[in-house]
Structure 1
Amino acid sequence: MALMITDECINCDVCQPECPNSAISPGEEYYEINPDLCTECVGHHEESQCVEVCPVDCIVLNPDIAETREQLYKKYLDLTGQAVQE
């Protein structure tokens, strides 16, 4: 699943620079995560970096976007221009 930021976000600005895929950007009211770019840090880190640094725990799994770890890894490969190794 991709991650999402809930309306509990306090716009503290710590999550955006931590995202290796540039999936986080300021929204109208609070930060947003682009699900097309979010890999939950699969391929980059063991843990989702935005979740690790969020002081209010407002970054959660997006229930509308179900993705397996394998799908997230394929997205990571696509985003970084790496060929899928089979």
Structure 2
Amino acid sequence: IACRTESKEFADGLLNAVTFPMLLLSGVWFSLDGSPQWVQTIAQVLPLTHVLEAARAVMLDNAGLTDIALHLAVLVGFCIVGMGVSLKLFKW
């Protein structure tokens, strides 16, 4: 985001506009189990949801790598897509 903006302040504002809803919808502050289905669907598109679910599984359920493999695969996918987008959008 910051590579395409004219000022640091604008980039900070955009980053906050993206980060806060992600924190709210990914289950950082409260469980999404009682949330409507559409909220749970949106949460599955957010990378932070997969980080949290994998970390909770490891810490609370003593999960191994095979147990969190789907979350890790999704996160690797996010990294690959993000890297590709950033390579296209970055300007010197």
| TM-score interval, normalised by the smaller of the two chains | under 0.3
Between Structure 1 and Structure 2, the one with more helix by share is: 2
Scaled by the length of structure 1, the TM-score of the pair is 0.27
Scaled by the length of structure 2, the TM-score of the pair is 0.26
